[in-house]
Amino acid sequence: MDLEEFAIDLKVAGMTIGYQLEGVVKIIAEEIEAEAKSELGNYQPATGPFDAWDPLAESTKADRVRQGYSEDDPLERSGELRESIEHEVVGLAAIIGTKSKVGYWQEVGTPKMSPRSFMGPAYIRKLERLHEEIGRCIMRGFKAE
């Protein structure tokens, strides 16, 4: 194989890898969205740099019951927060999250409330799978004939 053929092979591999990666990004973004949604209503353990969720305060539990919600399902009331979580993919870039102010304050906490991060841990739990899929795409790209 001469340098010209090698350059062509690299170009084909790059195009193949790029095409496959776009599909992987879409799938992983959907999985992160689903993972984040599934966390609402259930106490979450510590994940990566994100702390485990603190128990709801007794005053919060009483307020939930007074409003007609279950006593102890953190971040789960009307379903509005869950429905606000979405993803958008453009090429190899993905944005997964919520535009909800409630979601933001739950994710990062406030001076009076510990964070109950649900987006960050969902991403962390999918990170290894993302790395594995990237590796598979690269391997398949160079095996293409």
- Residue 144: the pLDDT is 53
In this prediction the pTM is 0.87
Specify the amino acid at residue 93.
Answer: A
Provide the percentage of residues in the chain whose pLDDT is more than 90.
79
Domain of residue 93: give its range. Answer: 3-143
CA nearest neighbour of 40 among 109, 112, 107 = 107
Cβ within 8 Å of residue 22, ≥6 positions away: 89, 91, 92
- Residue-wise pLDDT for 50-101, tens only, equals 999 999 999 999 999 999 999 999 999 999 999 999 999 999 999 999 999 9
8-state DSSP, 85: -
Residues 123/32, Cβ–Cβ less than 8 Å: yes
Query: Number of folded domains in the chain?
Result: 1
